[in-house]
Structure 1
Amino acid sequence: MTFKGLTTVTTFRKGLVLALGITMTALTATACGGGDGDVPAAAGPNEHVELTLATFTEFGYEALLPEYQKLHPNITVTHRKTGQGGPYAQDMMTKLAAGSGLADVQAVEEGHLSDVLAKSSKFRDLGEIGPADAAADRWLSWKYEAGKDKNGKLIGYGTDIGPLAMCYRKDQLAAAGLPTDPEAVKPLFATWDSYFTAGAQYAAKTGKAWFDSAAQNFNAMVNQLPVGYLDKDDKLTLETNQGIKDAWQKVTDAVAKGESAKLTAFSNEWNSGFRQSAFATKVCPAWMIGVIKEQAGPGNAGKWAVTPAFPGGGGNWGGSYLTVPTQSKHPREAAELAAWLTAPEQQIKAFAATGNFPSQTKALESPQLLNSTDAYFGNAKVGELFAEQAKKVGKPQYKGPNDGQIQDNVAAPALQAVEQGAAAADGWQQLVDGAKKLAR
């Protein structure tokens, strides 16, 4: 099977957390664990139940929902599908604050998960009301654990993931005298130090950029750390977190050496950069394969390669969860639908339809996935490659409220300022000051 490309709009769900446009102070309910209290009883086998499912962009559920309704003739599912993740998230948080209007099963993108977990009292505990076969061992442990609030309440069943590898242009590396074979390039991508060292050599040799965007690399580096922007007490760590300081120094040093193409991710200029060979390497979650194919175009087929190496060992960028808000009048039926959609059999079908990479352990052992290749990338066995990368991801980093907004609305602009000529120290202060406003 060929690894299917994703549409441009899908990438906005996976990789770009847009501004919500609302203040999180509008939602002041305290997150809590504990039992779900009064949960309506399940409907009888002859009682008709109408459920709603809300998703954004492409989850691959269009063919699955008729199948589910055939298996459950007393259930009708209405699918509310939104085109872009940003407006969807804003609408979700507005309805969450209002206390009405959410679907029975509500999808949540990874970048907004921290804000939802902070309001976990507004969601059902799937560990209590979900079917027995939706046990923890269905998922990769890090994916499962990331769906819990700080008290252990499970509010989300994991759907897809974005395990990280590195994509690169073979012809551009060759022009700089660097190795090009996926195995031979592994030392270049072994650590962030080796990656940026190779980038400095590439930039000096060719006068061209090594990577697309400082923010894209910084995002991956921060997500690999034991502690991110916020600790488990939801206190901002920037001024004491040496890992983030080191990541900032390395990225901004690389910018100073001419390694960045200075492109804003998912902008028109960034899209054109793939076709114009504006950079030689790209942080590459599984869904980025489809982005590269679409944006680089047929003329660059065979020039791109992907290697199962990533600086620092591995990581994840992207993916979503299915939740059941307390607003649902049929939470048990909603939990059953969410569990069925996230079962490995269904996730493999979604993968075949849209390329969304599954998070379920049995799905990652599926021959259909492991035998997936991509001719655009030299017939690389991308299914097997990303399955192995997914297993390298460690314990999930705690994500406090507004974590995604700090990354996308503060850190990214601060790095863009450095790329446009601001001093690294000034950019750092911009990051600290902006993060403090969001973390209040």
Structure 2
Amino acid sequence: MRTTYRRPGRLVAFAAVTALATSLLAGCSSDDEGDSASSDGKVTLNVGTFGVLGLKQAGLYDEYEKSHPNIKIKENVIERNDAYYPKLLTQLQSGAGVNDVAAIEVSNITEVVQTQGAKFEDLSKAEGVNKSTYLDWKWDQGTTDDGKTIGLGVDIGPTALCYRKDLFKKAGLPTDREELAKAWSGDWDKYVELGEKYMKKAPDGTKFVDSASSVYNAVFAGATERYYDKSGKEIYEKSQGRKDAWDAAMKVAKGDMSAKLKQFDPTWDQGFANAKFATVACPAWMAGYIQEKTGASGKGQWDMAKAPKEGNWGGTFLGVPSAGKHKKEATELAVWLTQPEQLSKVFAKQASFPSTPSAYDSLKPSPATKAYFNNAPITKIYGDIAKNIPSVIYGLKDAQIGQSITDIGVLQVEQQGKSPAEGWEAAQKEIKDVLGQ
């Protein structure tokens, strides 16, 4: 999923290439699935997503096609949002190559609402949509100041910690989820201290955590003061939430407990598959990612515990671009996909937590998912966190600022041996570049 970007200079070049490519494809293809009905008379709806959203994995597309024999659904997935989002912006600007339904990550939603709202259908007026179905704050995030709702909530990201109990056991650490949650409750420093203990007897070739950026994002997930204030002014330099997350990440980056992997890169996926790290920050959507990337070898080895503090990392919306060729059918699909009944099925498959509170009392993970995480009480863990997620403010360039910090600042310290001061200076330079300052 989830919080990624490109610098303006690179974005312009990327956008130009993408626009040219989509224009050429649109002009050359005689059976463009996004633009016309297929030869069998079915309408193909293209759904643009990033990462593992879970709609396909939960069988929702197949279910919808069976009840709508005139519809064929094609999911177009880009692994990282930093590649997906610039492409989405390019498509919206050019009007070419747009997906009929487009996923939008929460850290981008403010920018999309404020700068691209006119390029989306108003889903608040769609048949079957009821504002009360969704979390109030989630609905508000996808709605413009004049009341146009351009995105319906799919999931939110209540954040736990996932850990490999087999590696914990080999390192001589407790493996009981309740004992671990109690040990680090209320203080991320206690989690870091446990990492230091792990490294004293770490199984060969393993580290305590996947990356310092993972720790940054997990700590920041619980911050009430983030990158912007209520007026829309950037406050990332003085933000206490940012400072706390940075300090925790630096303790990990300067220590020996990180596998030093860049999240959502192929090497990170390989780290899951090869059991190279013992813990990872685990927002609800990450549970499905872990299952997919670790595979059968991780079944029963992964477990889940409450994080030191409650927080929300990530979440997604579905919107319908107005440049799409099948807006009516796309709107019907987007509405159906984001109803409680459907989102409950996504949770059952891979624990992605719904944006629809009416589903919470009946949520049940699938036996396969529960077994994968050592029969952890997944619903209770995420449900308890979701009830206490702090209210936060997202700004226009929230994703870009965050990614400047993690993929520039933190990585320079972690992978290149720079000092924390040098890493923060590099992050600030990148942020100012992003903001055009």
- TM value normalised by structure 1: 0.78
1:321 counterpart SS class: strand
**1:121-136 equivalences in 2 (<5 Å):** 121-127=118-124, 129-131=125-127, 133-136=128-131
CA distance in 1, matches of 2:189, 2:97: 49
CA distance in 1, matches of 2:247, 2:289: 29
**Mapped contact 1:316–1:390 kept (Cα < 8 A):** no
Structure 1 residue aligned with 2:233, among 220, 230, 235? 235
Corresponding residue for residue 166 of structure 2: 171
- Cα distance change of structure 1 residues 102 and 247 upon mapping to structure 2, 3 Å threshold: same
CA distance in 2, matches of 1:431, 1:359: 32
- CA deviations 1:24-83 (Å, max 9, x no partner) are 9999xxxxxxxxxxxxxxxxxxxx99784533265234224325536xxxxx54534213
**1:42-61 equivalences in 2 (<5 Å):** 52-56=45-49, 58-60=54-56, 61=60
**Mapped contact 1:306–1:377 kept (Cα < 8 A):** yes
Structure 1 residue aligned with 2:90, among 86, 94, 116? 94
Asked if 1:81 corresponds to 2:75, the answer is: yes
Asked if 1:17 corresponds to 2:4, the answer is: yes
**Mapped contact 1:105–1:323 kept (Cα < 8 A):** yes
CA distance in 1, matches of 2:43, 2:366: 37
Which ranges of structure 2 fall in alignment gaps of 5 or more residues?
Answer: 17-40
Corresponding residue for residue 189 of structure 1: 184
Corresponding residue for residue 362 of structure 2: 366
Structure 2 residue aligned with 1:180, among 175, 182, 192? 175
- Cα distance change of structure 1 residues 293 and 59 upon mapping to structure 2, 3 Å threshold: closer
Corresponding residue for residue 313 of structure 1: 310
CA distance in 2, matches of 1:49, 1:266: 35
- Cα distance change of structure 1 residues 160 and 176 upon mapping to structure 2, 3 Å threshold: same
2:61 counterpart SS class: coil
Residue type of the partner of 2:255? K
Corresponding residue for residue 421 of structure 2: 425
Q: Displacement of 1:168 after TM fit?
A: 1.2
Q: Displacement of 1:336 after TM fit?
A: 4.3
Structure 1 residue aligned with 2:385, among 365, 369, 389? 389
Corresponding residue for residue 219 of structure 1: 217
- Cα distance change of structure 1 residues 354 and 185 upon mapping to structure 2, 3 Å threshold: closer
1:210 counterpart SS class: strand
- CA deviations 1:255-314 (Å, max 9, x no partner) are 22323221112334323333444322210122323333344444443332111x112223
Asked if 1:400 corresponds to 2:393, the answer is: no
- CA deviations 1:103-124 (Å, max 9, x no partner) are 4543323343233123223334
CA distance in 2, matches of 1:24, 1:360: 39
Q: Displacement of 1:436 after TM fit?
A: 0.9
**Mapped contact 1:160–1:359 kept (Cα < 8 A):** yes
2:179 counterpart SS class: coil
Structure 1 residue aligned with 2:408, among 404, 410, 413? 413
2:357 counterpart SS class: coil
- Cα distance change of structure 1 residues 282 and 49 upon mapping to structure 2, 3 Å threshold: closer
Structure 2 residue aligned with 1:377, among 366, 373, 376? 373
- RMSD value over aligned CA atoms? 3.4
CA distance in 2, matches of 1:369, 1:361: 16
Corresponding residue for residue 320 of structure 2: 324
Corresponding residue for residue 66 of structure 1: 65
Larger deviation: 369-378 or 153-162? Answer: 369-378
CA distance in 1, matches of 2:201, 2:46: 53
**Mapped contact 2:98–2:321 kept (Cα < 8 A):** yes
CA distance in 2, matches of 1:269, 1:104: 32
Q: Displacement of 1:438 after TM fit?
A: 0.6
Count of residues in correspondence between the two structures: 397
CA distance in 1, matches of 2:217, 2:364: 31
**Mapped contact 2:213–2:411 kept (Cα < 8 A):** yes
Residue type of the partner of 1:269? T
By relative contact order (CA 8 Å, sep 6+), the higher-ranking structure is 1
- TM value normalised by structure 2: 0.78
Corresponding residue for residue 161 of structure 1: 156
Q: Displacement of 1:343 after TM fit?
A: 1.1
Larger deviation: 191-200 or 350-359? Answer: 350-359
